[in-house]
Amino acid sequence: MTSTDNAGTAPKPAAKDPWDLPDVSGLVVGVLGGTGDQGRGLAYRLARAGQKVIIGSRAVERAEAAATELGFGVEGADNAECARRSDVVIVAVPWDGHAKTLETLQKELAGKLVVDCVNPLGFDKKGAYALKPEEGSAAEQAAALLPDSRVTAAFHHLSAVLLQDESIEEIDTDVMVLGESREDTDIVQAIAARIPGMRGVFAGRLRNAHQVESLVANLISVNRRYKAHAGLRVTDV
């Protein structure tokens, strides 16, 4: 008779602490679209926090020029080289170039942890409004186009103005992180936490990405009304 038989049932393992996140300080983070406002801001904040960052662009000259301006050891490369050399790749390209960019980088992004932060939005005289891609969301489109990558979604609600403001030491906001693997979302949460004032919060699987991406349209309305750079905080966690 085994000890389990004697006890009746084996004790359940202790639940993992959701804030016990991995050390990501040694990972290389690539930013596709790193010369745009959002990508440039993320690259700056992560590099300033000590992360090794490579920014990618369709034009290597633009990427190299932006990297020189950012400093903190940031390097510039074309998108393919950026993807090849990075452990984690943040997709921060404009929505209208999202699918085409990822289609051309399927090989380079194979096996990589991809973090999609693209918000499919339209604009008219009434303001910003959410678009719904055929796949359901930008993140789900990325997962469909990159079957050999580990796709997550995060960094949607960050103000590019605050990210690039060198006078701001901390950015007081939470980052909603979505994905299919806890190991992957833990890594993304840990990367977000590298930026002072920021916290990554698990917010579900990729099927829930549409409403996270869409909320940016609401934040744009908030910002216009109150002349602000609003972010999010999740309470009681």
Q: DSSP of 20-54, one letter per residue?
A: -----TT-EEEEETTTSHHHHHHHHHHHHTT-EEE
Q: Give the pLDDT confidence score for residue 12 in this predicted structure.
A: 80
Cβ contacts of residue 11 below 8 Å, gap of 6+?
none
Average pLDDT over residues 191-203: 98
The model's pTM is 0.93
Could you tell me the two tokens for 219?
Answer: 């934040």
Average pLDDT over residues 193-212: 98
Query: Which letter does DSSP use for residue 84 in this model?
Result: H
Could you tell me the two tokens for 203?
Answer: 């917010």
Average pLDDT over residues 9-17: 80
Residue with tokens 């840990």: 190
User: What gap in Å lies between CA 213 and CA 85, rounded to an integer?
Assistant: 28
User: What is the per-residue pLDDT across 72-131, written as a single tens digit (0 to 9) for each?
Assistant: 999 999 999 999 999 999 999 999 999 999 999 999 999 999 999 999 999 999 999 999
Sign, CA torsion 195/201/207/211? negative
CB distance 156 to 212 below 8 Å: yes
N-to-C CA span, the chain: 43
CB distance 20 to 81 below 8 Å: no
Phi-psi region of 8 (alpha: psi -120 to 50; beta: other; left: phi over 0): left
Res 230 pLDDT > 60: yes
